[in-house]
Amino acid sequence: MSLRHLPIFSAILSALLTACVSVPLDLGNPKAAEANMIAPLVEKRETLVATGYAVISVQNHKNSAQQRLLAIRASKLDAYRALTEQVYGQQLDTSTTVADMTVMSDTFRAKVEGVIYGAVVVSITPVGDDTYETTLSLDQQVVRDLRALYLSQLVARRR
């Protein structure tokens, strides 16, 4: 790079670094600090969308109409689980055992926990001959409210 390009490069680098500056954490206020950590995770979209699936034939009922209703319910619950993952994230517990430089066992446990309210059923549709698909949406303002409620509960538990 020649010296004549240095001012342009410097201006671009300065603009990029300015754009990357984050909001400083208020270490004296744990609630504000936690809110600042979660703030970047909020989606830019106006709504979150989640889809759930369920197979009809595996539903535990002899009547085919009842199997369909159970599959619809199961797909809706799966969509709620997927929405909860987007709002709160997933807690993963893992354990790996190694002996003689060989993996002996590798286990994973995933946990999703949270409260969802205000979700809207966008669609419940059959997919193929044996599956239902349910799509839910959740307004971003409700997501912010849910996260704020979650953070306030975390702070209250720590006291």
Map out the domains of the chain as residue ranges: 25-158
List, for residues 12-58, the tens digit of each pLDDT value: 444 443 333 334 445 456 556 555 555 555 445 678 999 999 999 99
| CB-based burial, 65-96: b 16+ in 10 Å, e otherwise | eebbebbbebbbebbbebbbebbbeeeeeeee
**Residue 138, class by beta-carbon neighbours within 10 Å (0-12 exposed, 13-18 middle, 19+ buried)?**
buried
Nearest CA to 126 out of 28, 54, 47, 39 is that of 54
pTM, two decimal places: 0.65
Paired strand residues for 92: 110
